[in-house]
A and B are shown apart, each in its own frame.
Chain A
Amino acid sequence: MDTTTPSAVSTESLEGRRKHDHAHSHHHHHGLESRAGLAVQPGVDALIGARGLWLTRSGRTILEDIDLDIGRGEIVTLIGPNGAGKTTLVRVLLGLTTPDRGEVHRSPGLSIGYVPQRFDIDRAIPMTVVRFLALGGSSTPDRIRAIMEEVGASHVLDQQIAGLSGGELQRVLLARALLRDPNLLVLDEPVRGVDYAGEAELYTLIGRLRDDRALSVLLVSHDLHIVMAQSDRVICVNRHVCCSGVPETVARDPSYIRLFGAHAARAFAIYSHQHDHRHDLAGEARPVAPDAAVTSDGQKGA
């Protein structure tokens, strides 16, 4: 176990790194690893890291030798098609699922705020927003109100959770995660049931929270387009890590284009499966005949 105290990332290094990211688009010289997602800059120790994660369930390989690091103050987006193992990977990082092989290293003092993928509260449970937020841990009404203002949803405090809109619910879930004073926010497809404008707003909010609170963020998404502006690093997963790097680079990476289709590389908002390989029933990669490639252009959010 790492015994170094988790000293907060200094503002200089955060700023420096962000400038560095912005500069990327002019340099065209980013080291893109095509296997492992180890792009943490030197000097910034990882808040949470995973090495060699393997997981098989009922004979199906779900995670295949996954390495992953999330640095302090970094926004990492996990992207991949449905069924690529993104949620399983998140569950392993959260400690809810034990991998068959591999290790997860958590730095001391790590505190995770989690926003789950699906949240359908049973209407049988009467639950106001304020009561729901208090359920997450000990918190004073003042603190709850302050955090609800921070996420821009203080007007729903006394409403029933079941009656919230998708965008309001996401902000409430975000508030519940923030009440735990996390240094890592994990959001599993946080924009389900949110319209396109709401999606962009939510990601802007997440970016702002990162800056204000020096948070690390792990986002799970299947839509690179909208997360681009806020992500420092994108890790493209399809059971294994296909590619990783800054968003612009990943969008041009051949393995990303193969996974999401040529359309997606241009428009980002599309996802399709133009594989160079397919996964057979045992999860083994097999070459695929060119005419068997599936393309789709289901425009999302149209």
Chain B
Amino acid sequence: MDPFLIRAFAAGAGVAVLAAPLGCFVVWQRMAYFGEAVAQASLIGIALGLAFHLDLTASALAVSAAMALLLIVLARQSLVPLDSLLGLLAHAALAIGVISASLVQGPAVDLLGYLFGDIFAVSTADLWWVFGGGAVVLAVLAFLWRPLLSLAVHEELAAAEGVRRDLVKGAFVVLLAFAIAIAIKVVGILLAIAFLIMPAAAARPLSATPERMALLAAAIAVAGVLIGLQMSLSYDIPGGPAIVAVLAAMSGVSLFGMAARAGAR
């Protein structure tokens, strides 16, 4: 197997395992569009990184995290509903990101590569981000698991029981920005959120407890990566989109199966 293939499989599987449990919280807390806005903000970070010769993952992460915190602050007003606000900021971020990328001096920025990713171009440095960064994210998530879950189930009850909600929610948002910045390396800005929500959606009908859902989502995501990359090689189609299409098909089968069972009752 060529080294670039091994790197592609390793990066895909790493992102799958990292994103799945976080994705469960994204699904439970209805944060899919929140994640979308955060992901799209990273294009601004990449443009800034290119302009000022910074580490692209670090600069993408910084801008994503800033976007996440901005969203938390803006969500406190209630005149414009949160979904509209998310649409506003996601598209503003994308527009400003594309403009910033066009203003960067030097050779033309490979916009398509950042938007859709190129899993076969993953470098060894990228793998460090996926596995090093991923391990940190998962360790912090494991540490925060119970308070986070408690808040997702019932915020008031959790707060009354002593969970420090602002702290825990803030930490989660930073973790999410981190995970998205890592996932972008593999599947690009526009598809990163798929890694978060699709495995979780596929695992939900098959799970009785939150922990089982997280583990199952990770397993489904890894399977999706393996099948998607294999298809990409066999049919000569782009890798990231192939993975996302396979994950979508798996979610579809799982959800249709559930809907059919509910209908049969």
Contacts and interface: CB of A to CB of B under 8 A. Distances in A.
B166 interface: no
A52 to B, nearest CB: 23
Contacts of A290: none
A112 B161 CA distance: 8
A258 interface: no
A121 B157 CA distance: 12
13 contacts: A95-B160, A114-B160, A116-B154, A116-B160, A121-B153, A122-B152, A122-B153, A125-B149, A126-B208, A131-B209, A137-B161, A176-B157, A180-B161
Interface in B100-138: none
Interface in B202-226: 204, 207-213
Given A114-B160, A135-B146, A137-B161, A121 B208 contact: no
A160 B211 CA distance: 14
Interface string A148-182: 00000000000010000000000000001000100
B208 A94 contact: no
Contact of A160 (B150, B154, B208, B212): B208
Contacts of B28: 122, 124-125
Interface string B140-152: 0000001001101
Nearest to A134: B146
A96 interface: yes
A242 B248 CA distance: 59
Nearest to B158: A135
Interface residues of B, number: 22
A114 B211 CA distance: 25
Nearest to A132: B153
A61 interface: no
Tell me the interface secondary structure of chain B in the complex.
helix
Contact of A125 (B156, B157, B160, B210): B210
Given A94-B160, A116-B160, A136-B161, A121 B209 contact: no
B160 A119 contact: no
Contact of A96 (B152, B159, B210): B159
A222 B51 CA distance: 63
Contact of A127 (B27, B153, B159): B153
A126 B161 contact: no
Interface centre among A116, A122, A124, A125 (most CB of B within 10 A): A125
A135 B204 contact: no
A126 B204 contact: yes
A137 B146 CA distance: 9
A96 B212 CA distance: 32
Given A126-B213, A135-B150, A116 B161 contact: no
Contact of A114 (B153, B161, B210): B161
B209 A116 contact: no
Contacts of A137: 161
Main SS class of interface, A: loop
Given A116-B160, A125-B28, 13 more contacts: A94-B160, A95-B160, A96-B156, A116-B154, A116-B156, A116-B157, A124-B30, A126-B207, A126-B209, A126-B213, A128-B208, A131-B210, A176-B157
Given A124-B204, A127-B153, A96 B160 contact: yes
Contact of B212 (A114, A126, A176): A126
Contacts of B209: 126-128, 131
A65 B149 CA distance: 37
Which 5 residue pairs of A and B lie closest in terms of their CB atoms, listed nearest first? A114-B160, A126-B207, A125-B28, A94-B160, A131-B209
Contacts of B211: 131
A119 B159 contact: no
Contacts of B161: 114, 136-137, 180
Contacts of A124: 27-28, 30, 204
A90 B58 CA distance: 45
A121 B149 CA distance: 12
B1 to A, nearest CB: 38
Contacts of B159: 96
Nearest to B212: A126
Contacts of B210: 125-127, 131
Nearest to A138: B146
Nearest to A161: B153
Interface string B240-259: 00000000000000000000
A96 B160 CA distance: 7
Contacts of A112: 160
A136 B211 CA distance: 16
A60 to B, nearest CB: 16
A112 B207 CA distance: 32
Contacts of B208: 126, 128, 160
A126 B153 CA distance: 10
Nearest to B159: A96
A135 B145 CA distance: 10
